[in-house]
Amino acid sequence: MPETMVAPSILSADFSNLKKDIEMINGSPADWIHVDIMDGVFVPNISFGFPVVKAIKQHSKKPLDVHLMIKDADHYIEEFKKVGADNISVHFEACTHLHRTIHNIKHHGMKAGVAINPHTPIHFLEDIINDVNIVLVMSVNPGFGGQKFIEHTFNKILSLKELIKTTGSKAKIEVDGGVDLDNALPLVRAGADVLVAGNTVFSSPNPLETIKYLKDPL
């Protein structure tokens, strides 16, 4: 089984000392830095915009995995590319013309992902699964960090893995929300390729060791 990818979520970092936390991630075996963008419309919270993403990119040695929890994502794709996004995932529930949005992301030279909320069935992705690089499965309701993991996520991952297999898709399965040291191994066994971890990493007494464990929980 290939090594699990880990994407620490910068939303849980210490914003009074962001450079220090980014340098910690740079020195870790983490694969991406996960960046949550929230607009207060699609989700009931606001995070940060282009200047903060640009500042993260200036210090980061890891690719930026940008998760857009926003309405009208198409208006901002090019600007996120300019400030340093390497991957962009948009929400199935927020995109009226998902196919066009996905190909717009790819047109700008980034990996394209589709994110789904906990209530969205996997079979809704049948017509887009071969167009995306990433499927981001939300294991909490999007908008806030530190929520309790939704157990039904395991079944969704199994269903998604089967869809990927039967369609020949190359999409990676990314899981975001409530990922911790207890559920990391079951998630990987179910088929998760990328684990997003916020509080689990940044509230750890030893973030580097936590990232190492998430990379190889087997």
Q: Which of 39, 65, 86, 176 is catalytic?
A: 176
Tell me, yes or no, if 36 is annotated catalytic: yes
Instruction: Give the tokens for residue 182.
Output: 């207890």
Do 105 and 134 meet the contact criterion of CB atoms below 8 Å apart?
A: no
153 residue type, one letter: T
Q: How far is CA 217 from the centre of its chain?
A: 19
Tell me, yes or no, if 74 is annotated catalytic: no
Q: Which of 36, 39, 65, 86 is catalytic?
A: 36
> What are the residue numbers of the active site?
36, 176
